[in-house]
Structure 1
Amino acid sequence: RAYLISGVASALLSAAFVYDIFWVFISPLIFHESVMIAVASGDSSGEAIPMLLRIPRFFDPWGGYDMIGFGDIIFPGLLVAFSYRFDRAGKKGILNGYFLWLTVGYAVGLFLTYLALFLMDGHGQPALLYLVPCTLGVIVVLGWIRGELPHLWNYGRRPENSVGEV
């Protein structure tokens, strides 16, 4: 069901947002190293988890790479896919819909992630810290401005039967 996607995508993005921030920034205070970065990079064993993409760094004489987890692609992708379905069902144009703006928001979020990575001298960044405000934030703000936020949240939901109705 379509309404499940909006609620599930919002809940997953919100939970993953907190999860990402905790394991990258707060776990070093508890475990003396960032657990997320250690697991993703394979630490000293050299074995990395298969749930990430390695993106080569351009102009890096040592041939290094940056990593992005599949969750950083899949969770915001659910919301972007929902926005496409919502636009199609409402026969919205490219500019007055949500899909284009969420796609642009995702691209801006990725740019901000890599900018932060560069500015923090390569220290791992939780991508969802930048992607969630640029996707979930965009759809919530646009929906609120357009007066469509309740319709976005309840999209595809059937009205409940009143007591005594069949």
Structure 2
Amino acid sequence: MNLLIREINENDPIIISHAFKEQGWNKPVAQYERYITEQINGERVTLIAEIDGVFVGYVNVLWESYYPEFMEKSIPEINDFNVLVKYRGLGIGSKLMDKAEEIIKEKSLIAGIGVGLFSDYGIAQVLYVRRGYIPDRKGIHNGKNYIRYGESVVIDDDIVLYFTKKL
């Protein structure tokens, strides 16, 4: 397996969007075009994983997280981390995480990450714990607010538990 991890470039948005469409996920080209603009502006780093020149996954480092706790404490966030389903279990995610943490360590001694709570995120939940990430003690967040005891929520991609790791 010839794995290459590199930063996103202008040729990637259509390729990435198409690869996710093939597995039934809607990831619009505009999302990745925005990632390139934000990378140029120094707001994020988007890392692309390829095997023998074929796109297989990506991860982002957000220098200023959207999550209030990380924003307040200037904790960079590993964000929107995806490996195509047919390439999971090959260590690609771990290699992407290694590189993201290496980049964060240049500016911060702490990395943050969020993970969804339902079974689609099970592999990621285990990966983050195995890599030493621990919950930030703030509880569940829905993208706007922390969920309080007794509240009802619809479990979807916005219901997240956040973790940190000392690098």
- Same fold, TM-score > 0.5, yes or no: no
More helix by share: 1
**Which of the pair has the greater relative contact order for Cα pairs under 8 Å at 6+ separation?**
1
Report the TM-score, using the length of structure 2 for normalisation.
0.26
Report the TM-score, using the length of structure 1 for normalisation.
0.26
